[in-house]
Amino acid sequence: MTTSDDHRTPYIPNAQPHPWRRYVAIGDSFTEGIGDPDPSTPGRHRGWADRVAQVLSEQVDDFAYANLAIRGRLIAQIVEEQVEPALALKPDLVTFSAGGNDVIRPGADPDAVAQRFEDAVVRLASDGATVVVFTGIDTNFTPVFRGIRGKIAIYNENIRAIADRYDLLVADQWALKEIQDLRFFDDDRLHMNALGHHEVARMVLRTLNVPNDLLPMQPDPFPTRTWREARTVDLVWAREHLVPWVLRRLRHQSSGDQVTAKRPEVLPMLRWTPEADAPDTPGTDG
């Protein structure tokens, strides 16, 4: 892959094939892959973590991957339900993205969320695995979440400080300008679609300094809409996505209730055929 024109992050490829053989991903809907449906398995989602694992698996012979992430999980649930099972799988690479569902809730304290995050990091890094953590996306581009941009920025600074203390790798979504565009998001305006997950996968591989041939995927042009048509789209979004999300919050429910991890054991990756990619379909709540 040619990377000399990539201005966002330095790119220093590993001199040898990457060192990782057992990769475990933990988190919420972002890591589960919601918004990026897997056309080979109805009802299942692919996502950036599967895409990263696919690239890693193609470069070594004995690679295995597990994904314990479940949609809707708050950080306390992720720590309680996923950290110890992840450690039991003896990974040498862990991706840990958590806290987003907490931070977007009214009244959430990003400092308190970060403390829980740090407690988990201490455990995840205890056996010497490479740990990758994520900053939150800059929401200035979307009116829906623009009001919590400051909380996300505070949380991100906490994440960077934690990463510095424990020598973690930071996958910096805040700096990933490409995905700050609604065309990279699903109809619910909360989860990324296939374009967004693909771009995050490219960013994670840059963070790991792993050579790859994933190229940017260009979105379709923005549709031309009249003011009335745009407001109609907004009303449909509010009825189909916003109102159900609010009702779940009021009822203390989650879209992840009754959902289990899609890949709870470390298993070899099957070869992915790019022509199997299908159009995006609506995702579900965080």
Residue 12 lies in a domain: no
What's the pLDDT at 266? 78
State the Cα–Cα distance between residues 136 and 125, nearest whole angstrom: 21
Q: Which helix (H) or strand (E) holds 247?
A: helix 243-250
Mean pLDDT over 30-35 rounds to: 93
Q: How confident is the model at residue 276 (pLDDT cuts 50, 70, 90)?
A: very low
Is residue 46 a part of any domain in this protein?
A: yes
For residue 157, what is the enclosing H or E element? helix 149-166
Closest alpha carbon to 53 in 132, 106, 113, 121:
132
Give the pair of three-digit tokens for residue 222.
Answer: 């923005």
- pLDDT tens for 237-268 read 455 545 454 555 555 555 555 667 787 887 78
For residue 210, the enclosing domain spans 22-274
Q: Is residue 227 part of a domain?
A: yes
Decide if pLDDT at 278 tops 50. Answer: no
The rounded distance, in Å, linking the Cα atoms of 106 and 83 is 26
Is 211 among the domain residues?
yes
pLDDT at res. 38: 86
Is the pLDDT reported for residue 77 higher than 60?
yes
Q: How many residues does the chain have?
A: 286
**For residue 87, is it within any domain?**
yes
For 212-245, write each residue's pLDDT tens digit: 989 888 766 666 666 665 556 555 545 554 545 4
Lowest model confidence (mean pLDDT) among 7-21, 65-79, 96-110, 178-192: 7-21
Asked, for residue 279, whether it belongs to a domain, the answer is no
- 10 within domain boundaries: no
* pLDDT for the residue numbered 122: 96
Name the strand (E) or helix (H) holding 65.
strand 64-67
Q: Is residue 117 part of a domain?
A: yes
Report the CATH number at residue 222: 3.40.50.1110
Question: What is the pLDDT, as a whole number, of residue 277?
Answer: 46
For residue range 109-168, what is the model confidence (pLDDT) as tens digits?
999 999 999 999 999 999 999 999 999 999 998 887 889 999 999 999 999 999 999 999
Domain count for the chain, please give it.
Answer: 1
Distance of alpha carbon 200 from alpha carbon 97, whole angstroms: 12
